[in-house]
Structure 1
Amino acid sequence: MPVLSRELATMRKPSLWVVYAITILTTAAYMVSFNYLAAMLADSTGVAEAWIPAVLALFGIGAFLGLFIGGRISDRRPHFALGAGAIGVAILSVAMVAVIERLWAAPPAVFLIGIAAFVLNPALYGRVFAIAADAPTIAGATTVSAFQLGISITPVLAAATLTNGAPLTSVYWIGAALAAAAVPLILLDRARRD
């Protein structure tokens, strides 16, 4: 049975907050792109409006596959999953800038970003509960909050470029930068692994 004082003491571990920072950065990295994907498909790729949901569904299918893959490897190699996911999101975000105008290339790239993005999630949860085994209630709730914060900051980040006249594809550069910023934190977490 969870004891509040023990849970609160566990929540003071710096390593736990490193994982929360990774969660916020990586979630924002793929969501900043996904939130504007339909607009980019219509404006840049030229996908017929009727086909946009199908391309968005490719992201969802990729996400399902990413969760499966991440779940298979996260128990034994969580930092491999974290690193592969973050680097994958960074590389694919940059690639999307180049392929978004190509109808034949954009949908596969969307699918691959879905995989890379969601390979991360099982490893993130696994690291949180490895570090905070004594705080399952608060640590679990804070993990969900970190994911939500990552999602919530994406409009602010996108607005920073879009309101200054940057092209819509600038959100991919933001996503790439956020994913890249998570990599040193992943290395830090691996170095001081609990």
Structure 2
Amino acid sequence: MPLPLYLLALAVFAMGTSEFMLAGLLPDIASDLDVTVGTAGTLTSAFAVGMVVGAPLVAALARNWPARATLLGFVLAFAAAHAVGAVTSSFPLLLASRVVAALANAGFLAVALTAVATLVPPDRTGRALGVLLSGTTVATVAGVPGGAALGTLLGWRASFWGVAVLCLPAALGILRAVPAVRARGEATGRRALRAELAQLTRARVALVMLLGALVNAATFASLTFLAPVVTHDAGLGELWISVALVLFGAGSFVGVTVAGRLSDRRPGLVIAVGGPLLLVGWPALALLAEEPVALLVLVFVQGALSFAVGGTLMTRILYEAAGAPTMAGSYATAALNVGAAVGPALAAATLGTGVGTLGPVWASGLLVAAALITAFPLFTTVTGGGGAEAIR
């Protein structure tokens, strides 16, 4: 694989780190900018809203844009947004910078998924896409806890600067190696775009998008407010926040890896087994949060189950929206980030209730319950087959 491809993956890694790292930085941001932790949690929702809006919008607009200039513009805008966030003392400006960063992230992914095909021979395109998207997985394992650790040691602003710096090698790689060609040809014109957008009116597409959003909302509800659970309920020091995030990231890697082997052929198995286990896991985490060992084990398990079930549902979106070859990825991204926006917002509302810092964990359980209640009466529709065995 050519070096520029890995530099593009580095940008995806930086963007994934940015999206998830706030889970370990919220208490410090809230204290520094004199807002509540619940208010600081809207930074995660703002990023998700930007991704929801940006993914389909930019995927449509960038169909015929020059790839090199577009990628360079988005990665530099992403870096600039983090530089602004690192120096501001205004929470509204920090919030606005997160929206700009999310739009740049969505735009970068929309174009990069096509541009990588120009860097390798046609028979290696699949492998190249795997390298590009590995940036997100690595971010959950290393980037997120690394950003949290950097924030703990040097302050949350250092984490923002770190993300901005990571974008610079990717920008250089784009300048040196990405061809200055259009991202997509004229074959994907307005008529084709209308046909692809019409896929959103299909009931099966809408259903799997809803389920994906609910499961991801549950994931982000707890992940965003995991830091107070670690320090307050479990009574651990701040550096244990990074340990918990590492475990969640490692679990997510395991979940994606295992589910990836099954989601094409047996998605029903993943959903039927993983869904109920995920439902049980969130209340168990809330009830055992004061036991550090149990908490850390459950963080790993819930990371694995969340990404196994959520990743399988994202795959189902791509299958059901196969009639939208250039837009299906943006539909999956939008569903994912609707959940990332709604989950933290609902979780923040629970912080002022009697359950306190464990409110988000209980909210996660309710969101998974809503997904399962919706899914199981329509099981074969969700999984795309005519029976429990044939979900493909």
TM-score strictly above 0.5:
yes
Alignment match, 1:113: 302
Q: Which gives a bigger RCO, structure 1 or 2 (Cα 8 Å, sep 6+)?
A: 1
State how 1:60-79 maps to structure 2 within 5 Å: 60-79=249-268
TM-score by length of 2: 0.47
The answer (yes or no) to whether the contact 1:41–1:47 under 8 Å persists in 2 is yes
Instruction: Give the partner amino acid of 1:32.
Output: A
What SS class does the counterpart of residue 46 from structure 1 fall into?
Answer: coil
Instruction: Give the partner amino acid of 1:42.
Output: T
Determine if the alignment matches structure 1 residue 31 to structure 2 residue 220.
Answer: yes
State how 1:97-112 maps to structure 2 within 5 Å: 97-112=286-301
Q: Name stretches of at least 5 consecutive residues in structure 2 with no aligned partner.
A: 1-186, 386-392
CA RMSD in angstroms comes to 1.8
Alignment match, 2:329: 140
Residues 186 and 136 of structure 1, relative CA distance in 2, 3 Å threshold: farther
State how 1:13-28 maps to structure 2 within 5 Å: 13-28=202-217
Q: Which has the larger radius of gyration?
A: 2
Instruction: Give the partner amino acid of 1:48.
Output: G
The answer (yes or no) to whether the contact 1:10–1:134 under 8 Å persists in 2 is yes
State how 1:1-194 maps to structure 2 within 5 Å: 2=188, 3-192=192-381, 193=384
Counterpart-to-counterpart distance in 1, 2:311 and 2:354: 37
TM-score by length of 1: 0.91
Task: Give the drift of 1:134.
Answer: 1.1
Counterpart-to-counterpart distance in 1, 2:224 and 2:325: 31
Paired residue total: 194
Q: Greater CA deviation, 127-136 or 62-71? A: 127-136
The answer (yes or no) to whether the contact 1:83–1:186 under 8 Å persists in 2 is no
Counterpart-to-counterpart distance in 2, 1:155 and 1:63: 19
Counterpart-to-counterpart distance in 1, 2:225 and 2:360: 8
Q: Identity across aligned pairs (percent)? A: 31
Task: Give the drift of 1:25.
Answer: 0.4
Task: Give the drift of 1:120.
Answer: 1.8
Q: Name stretches of at least 5 consecutive residues in structure 1 with no aligned partner.
A: none
What SS class does the counterpart of residue 356 from structure 2 fall into?
Answer: coil
Counterpart-to-counterpart distance in 2, 1:129 and 1:114: 22
Counterpart-to-counterpart distance in 2, 1:32 and 1:84: 22
